[in-house]
Amino acid sequence: MSSESPVSIQIPPELAGQRLDQALAQILPEYSRSRLKGWIEAGRVMLDGRLPRPRDAVSGGEAVELRPLLEPVHHDRPQAIELDVRYEDAAIVVLNKPAGLVVHPAAGNPEGTLLNALLHRAPELAALPRAGIVHRLDKQTSGLMVVAKTPAAHRHLVAALAEHAVGREYLALVQGELIAGGTVDAPIGRHPRDRKRMAVVLGGKHAVSHYRVEERFVGHTLLRVHLETGRTHQIRVHMAHIRHAIVGDPAYGGRLRLPPAAGEALTAQLRGFGRQALHAARLTLEHPVSGEVMSWAADIPDDMHALLDAFRAHRQARSDD
């Protein structure tokens, strides 16, 4: 275990009346309330120059000095899983996740995840929540992710995501022919009957997706989607909501739809494409240390490339008839 640099913050006025440990848990969401409570009890928190108790009520405006103690927050097994790293420095690592790789352990996927791979690559990430993972991609979605390597970078990225200051663009092949782009502004929450799925529901969390047409095919469209918010399955749910579900989506896509006069090649590609045709193609953020705006792009993977090529060949064949 080791200490990191002290954190100096001020209690916002709107948190007046709350317990100190409750207030700190809201200001510093990267640390659990139980962990913060332990640090207060261990004398690692000063409130206006004095040692407080976790239950002490705050008035708002107090100065807080916190000396975090880095220690493992989970005990997942490091595993030597190859990663496609696109950028790395002392604060962050940007990687291109392949389809099929689960981001972090959960029921049904206790090992073999991105988190296990990160712990093998950089064991010190064990001291960070979810090994520095600040956002996720679904198992069968490919593309770019950023991971924090220090507590300070973690705080910065969590805040940037909450403020919608991280740019994320996806390429999505959807059913149906769209002639123009648009915006889906529809709240997302748990499906009322199937708890494993999400849905557009009243009272759900605010969710906004912007899309524009990237390329048109017969009966299908390739979209470039920009996330304004980052809800679970957001693009998949929003596209299904406007009746343009993502091709191959097992949860929201419905039955397979073949375009008119689909030949053997395109039919085989569609039937053999075993995941949603969704790829996180571009990531833009402000570096947590330098403040520089940085951007990365990742080409679509081979399986999605082959599917798009089959659609292009089908479009050409139709135009030649």
**Residues acting as catalytic residues:** 138
Question: Residue 213 in contact with residue 304, Cβ under 8 Å?
Answer: no
Question: 257 is written with which tokens?
Answer: 């739809």
Tokens of 109: 């996927």
Beta strands in the chain (DSSP E): 2-3, 7-10, 45-47, 63-66, 69-70, 85-88, 92-97, 142-148, 167-175, 182-185, 188-190, 198-200, 208-216, 220-227, 278-286, 293-297
Would you call 260 exposed, middle or buried from its count of C-beta atoms within 10 A (0-12, 13-18, 19+)? Answer: exposed
How far, in Å, CA of 165 to CA of 153, rounded? Answer: 14
Q: What SS3 class is residue 318?
A: helix
Single-letter code of the amino acid located at 274: G
- Determine contact, residues 135/79, Cβ cutoff 8 Å: no
